[in-house]
Each structure stands twice: as structure tokens, then as C-alpha cells.
Amino acid sequence: MVRRIKQPPVPFVHFMDTESIQVITIKGRAPHGASRFSVYLQRGAEAEPHEIAFVFDARFNFGADHNKIVTNSKKGGAWGKEEHKHVQFQFLHNQDFKIEITVDDGSFKVRQPRFVVLS
């Protein structure tokens, strides 16, 4: 089943039954001056939940990171080690983007035209 949600509020929190999900497609645009944008696949609607299965963080200019993809997870309330992906950064401010997250048993694969991030 395909569910489309147009122009959601930011931050956007939505329940998904992950038993039937194979691919999550996200289309968006980072506004001018944004330091980063993040996608959390998490348990619960809290702003800072105890469990986050997957974090995709596109960092334009955040801390010491510039034009970098970072992934992570949070288990038992503890953050894992950030994984800095060495892929070409495809995001630009004020430009539409599309990300596809494939949900596999025990892993997530992120695809954006011209690169793939495995976690």
C-alpha cells in the first residue's frame, strides 16, 4: 500500500506498521541556510525516544562536518557510534531531493540518485 503525505509539518512524526513496509520514499527540500536535515526511524513519537532503529543525517555545515552523510542508531537509550559515509554529497539548499530507504531484516539501505548508503 502506498501512502502519500504532502507538506507535513516539521518535525514530522507518523506511525508506520513496519511489518508491511519495504521501501520508504522521502521527497523534500532543505531551505537555504539549513545546517542539516535528519530522518529518524524510531519507536514512539517522542522527540528523543529510547530506541531509534536508524538515523540518516545529511549535514551541510554541522559542527566539524561539511557536506557529509552520517548514520547512527540508538539502543537501550544509548547512541551508537556515528558512521560517516564516504559518498558524494548530492544535496543542495533549495533543491528538491528524493531518498529511498529500503527496509531489510536487520539493515537499512538508503538510495538517492547516484549513490547508495548501506547501514
Cell of 107: 539493515
Cis check for the bond before 11: say yes or no (omega within 30 of 0): yes
For 92, residues 6+ apart whose C-beta sits below 8 A from its C-beta are 30
Q: Is the pLDDT of residue 115 over 70?
A: no
- Choose which CATH entry (2.60.120.200, 3.40.50.2000, 1.10.3720.10, 1.10.10.10) describes domain 23-118: 2.60.120.200
Q: Among residues of the chain, what percentage have pLDDT more than 90?
A: 41
Choose between 45 and 58: higher pLDDT. 58
Of 79, 82, 78, nearest to 68 (Cα)? 82
pLDDT tens readout for residues 18-45: 677 788 888 888 999 999 999 998 877 7
Choose between 44 and 70: higher pLDDT. 70
Q: Are the C-beta atoms of 90 and 114 separated by less than 8 Å? A: yes
3-state secondary structure of 100: strand
User: Domain ranges in the chain?
Assistant: 23-118
Residue range 103-109: mean pLDDT, rounded: 84
pTM beyond cutoff 0.75: yes
Q: Is the pLDDT of residue 66 over 90?
A: yes
Quickly count: other Cβ atoms within 10 Å of residue 1's Cβ: 5
72: left (phi over 0), alpha (psi -120 to 50) or beta: beta
